[in-house]
């Protein structure tokens, strides 16, 4: 124990000193802001409060973003300009074309299934007895990291030779049904869809919770009036419930699109991007930190940023419209 403390004492001291400095700065900011009074000095208080956030935004987002754009026009060592060579490589390389197709497939399949299953579960569990229990269980996978979920599904997709005992759940079920299991992570394009299942499993609880809250926001008098007019089941959902939660459904869908574009952990953990399962974010990591080609990695990062930005803007506008209503 004493050896452990002596070896890690500098680390603990660094952590606690950083926390202490943070609280000292925070206390100084609040003290200065509290002493500022009057209309003329309000801009000063605004600067005191927003200044640290703006500095962090500048240091953590703006400067790295500008540097990434500049690096995308440079060579692998970022010490010479190559113009549009990195972007031309993206258009010409057949592997990048496969990566883009996989990424588009993720964007089309994953958000739709995540939002649709979330909506289905929200409708089925709404106003049922003890609904909080199944909702909590369905939401629980979201507390697991993508790496943790991937490790869980590694056991689900585990494969042994047909003559051996199948310890993987999927292989065992297939063998029980009388079929011959295969190495699922080598089966193209099935392996990509099996990876998507991991994402949907972790995120559908999020969609369920958000859409369940939206469904509960539907006025009860409208539902009762529709029921008196003969609307039940599918008719009630199609004409009343879904139109009133449509905006929330679109937000969940858009959030799923952003998540699908940025997916990295699942692919990296399960296949490493091999066997035609690679996606944009994983290739960006591989080019930058495995191939040590900062130019190509930065170019992929810029493309990813351009794909994500419009969806984020749409999400922000949708949330503002909901708040305005």
DSSP states along 1-39: -HHHHHHHHHHHHHHHHHHHHHHHHHHHHHHHHHH--SS
Read off the pLDDT of residues 120-145 as tens digits, 9 standing for 90 and up: 998 888 777 788 888 888 889 988 88
- On whether the CB atoms of residues 295 and 71 are closer than 8 A, the answer is yes
- In the structure encoding, which two tokens stand for residue 95, read together? 């592997």
**Mean pLDDT of all residues in 99-123:** 92
pLDDT bin (cut points 50, 70, 90) of residue 280 is very high
The C-alpha angle with vertex 302 and arms to 194 and 84, in degrees rounded to 5, equals: 120
Read off the pLDDT of residues 160-182 as tens digits, 9 standing for 90 and up: 887 788 888 998 898 888 888 88
93: number of Cβ within 10 Å: 12
pLDDT bin (cut points 50, 70, 90) of residue 282 is very high
What is the structure's pLDDT at 45? 66
What is the structure's pLDDT at 113? 94
What is the structure's pLDDT at 34? 64
Domain ranges of the chain: 2-71, 85-324
Tell me which of 110-114, 232-236, 300-304 is least confident. 232-236
What is the structure's pLDDT at 21? 80
Q: What is the pTM of this model?
A: 0.81
Q: What's the CA gap between 66 and 68, in Å, rounded?
A: 5
- In sequence order, what are the residues at sequence separation of 6 or more whose Cβ sits closer than 8 angstroms to the Cβ of residue 168? 155, 156, 157, 158, 159, 160, 181, 184
Q: Out of 103-112, 161-170, 214-223, 245-254, give the one with best mean pLDDT.
A: 103-112
Query: Under CATH, what is the fold of the domain 85-324?
Result: MetI-like fold (1.10.3720)
Q: What's the CA gap between 281 and 107, in Å, rounded?
A: 13
What is the structure's pLDDT at 318? 74
Q: What's the CA gap between 195 and 251, in Å, rounded?
A: 23
Burial 258-273 (b: 16+ CB within 10 A, else e): bbbbebbbbbbbbbeb
What is the structure's pLDDT at 51? 74
Q: Which conformational region is residue 275 in: left (phi greater than 0), alpha (psi within -120 to 50 degrees), or beta? A: left
36 has a pLDDT exceeding 70: no
Through-space distance between the first and last CA atoms of the chain, rounded to whole angstroms: 60
**Mean pLDDT of all residues in 236-252:** 83
pLDDT bin (cut points 50, 70, 90) of residue 33 is low
27: nearest Cα among 60, 52, 46: 52
Q: Which conformational region is residue 255 in: left (phi greater than 0), alpha (psi within -120 to 50 degrees), or beta? A: alpha
Q: What percent of the chain has pLDDT over 70?
A: 89
Read off the pLDDT of residues 51-71 as tens digits, 9 standing for 90 and up: 777 888 888 888 888 999 999
In Å, what is the CA distance from 17 to each residue of 59, 196, 214, 280, 305? Answer: 22, 43, 44, 39, 36
Q: What's the CA gap between 107 and 112, in Å, rounded?
A: 8
96 has a pLDDT exceeding 60: yes
Residue given tokens 């699109």 in the structure block = 257
The per-residue pLDDT of the chain, averaged, comes to 84
More confident residue, 25 or 16: 16
Q: What percent of the chain has pLDDT over 90?
A: 33
- Long-range contacts made by residues 4-10, C-beta under 8 angstroms, separation at least 24? none
């Amino acid at each position: 124990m004493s050896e452990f403390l002596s070896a890690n004492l500098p680390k603990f001291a660094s952590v606690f000193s950083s926390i202490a400095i943070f609280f000292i700065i925070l206390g100084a900011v609040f003290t200065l802001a509290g002493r500022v009074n009057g209309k003329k000095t309000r801009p000063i208080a605004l600067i005191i409060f927003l200044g640290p956030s703006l500095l962090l935004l500048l240091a953590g987002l703006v400067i790295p973003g500008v540097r990434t754009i500049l690096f995308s026009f440079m060579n692998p060592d970022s010490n010479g300009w190559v113009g549009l060579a990195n972007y031309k490589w993206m258009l010409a390389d057949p592997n990048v074309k496969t990566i883009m197709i996989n990424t588009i497939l993720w964007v089309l399949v994953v958000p739709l299934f995540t939002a649709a299953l979330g909506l289905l579960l929200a409708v089925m569990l709404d106003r049922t007895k003890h609904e909080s229990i199944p909702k909590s269980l369905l939401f629980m996978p979201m507390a697991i990291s993508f790496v943790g979920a991937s490790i869980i599904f590694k056991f689900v997709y585990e494969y042994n030779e047909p003559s051996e005992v199948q310890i993987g759940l999927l292989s065992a079920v297939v063998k029980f049904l009388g079929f011959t299991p295969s190495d699922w992570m080598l089966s193209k394009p099935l392996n990509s869809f099996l990876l998507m299942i991991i994402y949907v499993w972790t995120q559908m609880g999020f969609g369920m919770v958000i859409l369940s809250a939206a469904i509960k926001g539907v006025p009860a008098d409208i539902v009762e009036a529709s029921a008196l007019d003969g609307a039940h089941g599918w008719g009630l959902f199609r004409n009343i419930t879904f139109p009133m939660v449509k905006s929330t459904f679109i937000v969940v869908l858009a959030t799923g699109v952003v998540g699908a574009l940025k997916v990295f952990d699942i692919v990296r953990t399960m296949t490493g991007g091999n066997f035609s399962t690679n996606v944009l974010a994983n290739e960006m990591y591989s080019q930058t930190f495995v191939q040590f080609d900062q130019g190509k990695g930065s170019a992929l990062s810029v493309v990813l940023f351009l794909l994500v930005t419009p969806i984020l803007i749409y999400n922000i506008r949708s949330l503002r419209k909901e708040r305005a209503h």
